[in-house]
């Protein structure tokens, strides 16, 4: 203190200390009030808002006028992919004069057809669009979870439910539509479709086409987050084994689980240059068309891929890949790196085609390339009624 007196700073120090005490007191009060506000909002007001929002949703549904030309399509992640995409493509092909409104999510990236209108999931515009739609097509639980209210003069159609399209209006429940609309493109083996899709995918991913072949490795969330991550596989040996067995130069398309799409860059960055990050590409089915072989750890897409009859491997090894849930899989589960290399080296195409047919039959598959057409036939029947 005497030093401050000598230096001519004593009064300034004392006055400043008083103001700092006031600042600390104000900050403490501010943080306390903010914390209290957050607690009240999280535990009380937000819950009340969710409950009373039902009244607003009912009000919108009750006052809306249904537009006979309006179709709202909801894909679970908001991306232009899956069964909803291929139904939308069929509607656009027929040029029926219908207006498609696509529901976006925060992570939606497109590109989308220019004919679409857009609303964002959970907004007031979303509920108004749903209330005014003649038909609402959706997959997953997004529409159910939203709490939107169906009008008696609307048709809601849930797709992708065990190969069934399910009307939710109390009419004769489900009809089989050839399994899944998304698989129409896999059944279409025409050179035009294969060439068009290959160019589209490679252009989007920035990969020069040198006639190379591709292995699609698309693991589940479990494998993505396993110790060692995607680098836990000896991809160089896998690539060499593919070339030795099937010929050609191979590259590996790595598609991380959707929940880790934002992390895909760092996850793939440490892999060799012939490993390409396909995670940003929204349409898995088009990647399946491009792929000359597929590998996962039991994700359902591998069963769609069997429609191509191309080599498919279920590889689940290491502490991040519990095998218990996979042993019921109709496909053999490979549990070590050495067994994977052996499975590639001894791959029997005729046996695989036979196994694929048996698996698809066991799953009740009825894909014939016209699932989208039958769904849209039903939609047009409703909209013209």
Sequence ranges of the domains in the chain: 2-60, 64-182+370-384, 189-362
Asked if 132 contacts 40 with a C-beta cutoff of 8 angstroms, the reply is: no
Task: Note whether 64-182+370-384 and 189-362 share their fold.
Answer: yes
pTM of the model: 0.82
- pLDDT(174) > 50: no
Other Cβ atoms less than 10 A from the Cβ of 283: the count is 20
The angle, 0 to 180 degrees and rounded to 10, between the axes of the packed helices 235-246 and 337-345 is: 10
Stretch 252-279: mean pLDDT: 79
Of 146, 116, 114, residue with least CA distance to 130: 146
Stretch 370-374: mean pLDDT: 91
The pLDDT mean for the chain works out to 85
199: its two tokens: 């160019």
In tens, the pLDDT along 27-80 reads 998 988 888 888 877 777 778 877 888 898 999 999 999 999 999 999 988 999
- pLDDT(228) > 50: no
pLDDT band of 226, cuts 50, 70, 90: very low
pLDDT of 299? 78
Residue with the two structure tokens 């220019």: 114
What are the φ and ψ backbone dihedral angles of 351, each rounded to 5 degrees? -65, -35
Stretch 271-299: mean pLDDT: 91
Stretch 74-92: mean pLDDT: 94
Stretch 246-266: mean pLDDT: 81
pLDDT of 178? 45
pLDDT of 227? 40
Stretch 318-332: mean pLDDT: 56
Task: Decide which of 177 and 188 is more confident.
Answer: 188
**What CATH fold (topology level) applies to the domain 189-362?**
Rossmann fold (3.40.50)
In tens, the pLDDT along 340-370 reads 999 999 999 999 999 899 888 887 888 889 9
Sheet containing strand 293-296, edge to edge, reads 275-277, 250-254, 213-217, 293-296, 312-315, 333-334
pLDDT of 173? 44
pLDDT band of 166, cuts 50, 70, 90: low
CATH number of 64-182+370-384: 3.40.50.11820
Euclidean distance between CA atoms 286 and 274, whole angstroms: 20
Beta bridge partners of 158: 138, 166
pLDDT of 172? 44
In tens, the pLDDT along 180-191 reads 999 999 999 899
Cis peptide before 301 (omega within 30 of 0): no
User: Hey, which of 121-125, 167-171, 218-222 has the most confident mean pLDDT?
Assistant: 121-125
Beta bridge partners of 167: 157
Three-state SS annotation for 66-123: CEEEEEEEECCCCCCCHHHHHHHHHHHHHCCCCEEEEEECCCCCCCCCCCCEEEECCC
């Amino acid at each position: 203190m005497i030093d401050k007196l000598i230096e001519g700073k004593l009064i300034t120090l004392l006055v400043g200390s008083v103001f700092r005490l006031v600042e600390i007191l104000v900050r403490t009060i501010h943080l306390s009030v903010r914390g209290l506000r957050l607690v009240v909002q999280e535990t009380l007001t937000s819950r009340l808002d969710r409950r009373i929002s039902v009244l607003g949703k009912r009000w919108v549904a009750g006052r809306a006028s249904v537009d006979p030309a309006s179709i709202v399509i909801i894909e679970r992640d908001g991306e232009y992919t899956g069964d909803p995409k291929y139904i939308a493509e069929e509607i656009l092909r027929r040029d029926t004069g219908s207006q498609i409104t696509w529901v976006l999510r925060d992570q939606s990236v497109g590109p989308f057809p220019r004919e679409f209108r857009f609303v964002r999931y959970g907004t007031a515009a979303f509920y108004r669009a749903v209330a005014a739609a003649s038909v609402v097509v959706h997959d997953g639980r997004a529409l159910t979870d939203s709490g939107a209210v169906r009008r008696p003069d609307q048709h809601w159609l849930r797709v992708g439910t065990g190969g069934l399209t399910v009307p939710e209006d109390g009419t004769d429940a489900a009809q089989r539509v050839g399994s899944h609309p998304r698989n129409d493109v896999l059944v279409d083996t025409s050179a035009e479709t294969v060439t068009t899709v290959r160019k589209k995918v490679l252009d989007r991913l920035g990969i020069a086409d040198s006639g190379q072949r591709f292995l699609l490795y698309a693991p589940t969330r479990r494998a993505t987050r396993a110790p060692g991550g995607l680098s836990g596989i000896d991809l160089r040996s896998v690539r060499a084994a593919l070339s030795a067995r099937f010929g050609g130069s191979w590259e590996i398309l790595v598609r991380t689980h959707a929940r880790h799409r934002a992390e895909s860059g760092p996850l793939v960055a440490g892999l060799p240059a012939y490993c390409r990050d396909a995670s940003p590409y929204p349409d898995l089915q088009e990647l399946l068309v491009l792929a000359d072989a597929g590998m996962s750890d039991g994700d359902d897409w591998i069963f769609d891929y069997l429609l191509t009859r191309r080599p498919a491997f279920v590889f689940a090894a290491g502490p991040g890949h519990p095998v218990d849930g996979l042993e019921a899989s109709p496909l053999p589960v490979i549990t070590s790196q050495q067994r994977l290399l052996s499975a590639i080296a001894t791959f029997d195409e005729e046996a695989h085609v036979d196994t694929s047919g048996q698996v698809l039959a066991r799953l009740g598959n009825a894909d014939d390339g016209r699932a989208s057409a039958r769904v849209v036939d039903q939609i047009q029947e409703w909209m013209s009624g």
